[in-house]
Amino acid sequence: MAAFYVLGVLFIAIHLGFFLFLHGKPVDQSVSQGLQSAIANFLAIAAEICLLSGITLAYEQYLWRTLQKRTLGAITIDKLLRLVSAPWNLVLPRLLMGAPGPWIVGFVCFSVPLAVVFPPGAMTLEFREGVMPVLLPSVPTVNISDWGNGELADIHRLALWSPFNNTDVFPNVGKQTHAAAPRLTLTIPQAVLPKLLNVATIVLAAGKPVNLPNPCRASCVYNLRIDGPKLRCKSDILPKDDSRSDCVGAVFSAIDEAEDPGPIIRKNSFKLTWAPVENGVCLSNSTGRVMQCSTTLASYDVHISTFQNGTQTIGSSVISEREFWSEDMPINTTVLRSYFREFNNTAFHMFPERRINLTADFLRLQAYSIRQAALIAMTGTIDIDPGSSKISPSRHHVLSTA
């Protein structure tokens, strides 16, 4: 009898373990549905047979022990002897009153087949967006340190600025023509690529990244690791002697303090100042705020999920960041001229040590260009109209007063 119970519990455990094994597995990576049903039915029936066999033996032993101790009528004894094979006799009151112990065991025996109908495991299919590892040959990404094959045309193609044509870049050109090297003046908006400015404006206006082209034919999830600028900001109280504290003049201003008419840009600073405003009214008795931002070069981990219905989610986290621009290490907007100054030696910049320096300088100029594209759309002021306390945007690049 004990052996039947042990076997029954063993089959139940195997049944449960089988469904735990199937839990969470994609359909195409698990056992076929036909085989699943066959295994599940076999384990359930095997557990039922073992439990019924053990309970039947226990019932017979318990029944004879009861008959030895109690005197029952012939009809009651006959019903009790067939109770296991004829469970409808359980409804007879005289069986329950005359032999409650055997009646309970018979009821348990009747309940086992009912319990097998609801085995300790069930399979539910959930339809989800499939995620499988695939090779994506054309994932949209960016590498701002890539300057191409070394030709000026390739550098211009990959640059995020619009270089100015200047013949004095190559003093030995003479009457020959040659592609002009970038003489950068990134302090004016026209020097940043228009398409980069458009992207920055759209992102700032929408408050979210623009959707990227889907490199998959179906839904997919992938990660990118890219380098780019990052603003590191610190907020403080606006000095009391600032006119904005008295709601005079611009109540909000965003100034790029890095703008410099010369080629050397030393000051790595973007400054925001504002006075407290509530319901369009400047609060002259409240304290204003100032935020000073410097730019660092960060490595980003970008997580992109695209779905068949056209939706896309983009998340990012900063892996690391480092300084690339300071008073002691200024941005030189004409630094690339030193790599292409000799027309008769066009491979001068291709020496190993020059390649390393060119990559570093190109990366810094690219990061600076991205920074300029974002800040150009953010730079501006908000003034108070004369004779009123209402706020109106200035005629600068402010996208919104919200």
pLDDT digits over 318-333, tens only?
A: 999 999 999 999 988 8
Residues with Cβ within 8 Å of residue 339, at least 6 apart in sequence: 348, 349, 354, 357, 358, 361
Give pLDDT tens digits for 269-298.
999 988 887 777 777 777 788 999 999 999
Overall residue count recorded for the chain in this entry: 402
Q: Alpha carbon of 311 to those of 314, 362, 374: distances in Å?
A: 10, 35, 25
pLDDT at 172: 32
Q: Which whole number is the average pLDDT over 124-133?
A: 58
pLDDT score at 128: 59
Q: For residues 326 and 295, what is the distance between their CA atoms, to the nearest angstrom? A: 9
Tell me the C-alpha to C-alpha distance, in Å, between residue 358 and each of 182, 299, 333, 336, 371. Answer: 13, 20, 13, 8, 20
Instruction: Give the residue, 354 or 29, on which the prediction is more confident.
Output: 354
**pTM for this prediction:** 0.59
Q: Is the pLDDT of residue 27 over 60?
A: yes
pLDDT, tens only, 81-127: 656 666 666 656 666 566 676 667 777 776 766 666 665 555 565 65
pLDDT at 205 over 50: yes
Q: Is residue 357 predicted with pLDDT exceeding 80?
A: yes
Percent of the chain with pLDDT strictly greater than 90: 14
75 vs 351: which has the higher pLDDT: 351
What pLDDT is attached to residue 193?
Answer: 82
